[in-house]
Amino acid sequence: MFGGFYTVKFQLGEAQGRSVMYVRDGRMLGGNSAFAHIGTYQEIGDEIAIVVDTVRHNPDPNYPAMAGTDDATLLARGRRDGEQIRFEGGLRELPGVPFQSVMMPIKEQPLPIAGGVGEDCIRNGLYSIHVRTLDGVEGGLTGVMLLNDGRILGGDACFYYLGTYTSENGRWKGQILNQEHTPATGDNPIFGGHEVGIGFSGRCDADGASWEATALVGKRSLRLTAALKLMRRL
């Protein structure tokens, strides 16, 4: 069965990229530092057919769209190759330009036990997340985060996140472990090369959430703030 939490390495023509992806019950939800990837899959014999839409969540021009347009649709088919799953296909918007990707399951650490949720809690869904450091320290992260009944999965082109949360009465709090899946020291000197533990608390509503947090980065303690925007409900 096709399912779980994966890192993804992909190539469109000569351009390359990375992301994370959660797969379950015919749905695919993931993304990276600038784009969310939202799609569906169907298992047909030993093949997997996927349709994935790309939606920009970060307007930063330093993250150009590989397809030349922010909104694009991928059509691809894949097969298992050991633990990996390899796909080939193309974008509707770029006929004739080959696409290929490799999905690798994340197995470094078991998924955390889910937290608790009550009334007026944060909604289950795929969110964009923009994290910034405070106290005059330059740095941060942008990516996607999947929230589902007290469990957190997410990531970007270099990191993946695992965590838990509790939520009730418009508030939420939790903990996240941020880990590298691709070396990021040059691109992100603050978080790169470290396993980062983050404890947070904040507010939430129907459209998104915010939090303030303290992160332990190596032997250094940093204060962070984050904004989350709901992109697709579960």
Predicted local confidence at residue 27, as pLDDT:
97
Q: Which pTM does this prediction carry?
A: 0.93
Choose among 50, 22, 49, 15: nearest CA to 36: 22
pLDDT tens digits along 147-182: 999 999 999 999 999 999 999 999 999 999 999 998
Specify the residue for token string 């942008």.
142
CB atoms within 10 A of CB 147: 27
Architecture of domain 125-233: Beta Barrel (2.40)
- The pair phi, psi for residue 168, each rounded to 5°, is -170, 145
pLDDT tens digits along 55-104: 999 999 999 999 899 999 999 999 999 999 999 999 999 999 999 999 99
* pLDDT tier at 47, thresholds 50, 70, 90: very high
Give me 63's structure tokens: 């993250």
Predicted local confidence at residue 187, as pLDDT:
57
Predicted local confidence at residue 200, as pLDDT:
97
**pLDDT, the chain, mean:** 92
Q: Where is average pLDDT lowest: 47-51, 139-143, 162-166?
A: 139-143
Predicted local confidence at residue 109, as pLDDT:
60
Predicted local confidence at residue 110, as pLDDT:
63
Amino acid code (one letter) for 139: G
pLDDT tens digits along 185-210: 565 566 777 889 999 999 999 899 99
For the chain, what are the domain ranges? 4-105, 125-233
pLDDT tens digits along 103-132: 999 975 666 777 889 889 999 999 999 999
CATH class of the domain whose range is 4-105: mainly beta
Q: How far is CA 46 from CA 28, 80, 84, in A?
A: 18, 8, 14
| 196-204 and 208-217 strand pairing | antiparallel
Predicted local confidence at residue 144, as pLDDT:
98
Q: Cα 16 to the chain's mean position, in Å?
A: 17
Specify the residue for token string 């955390």.
112
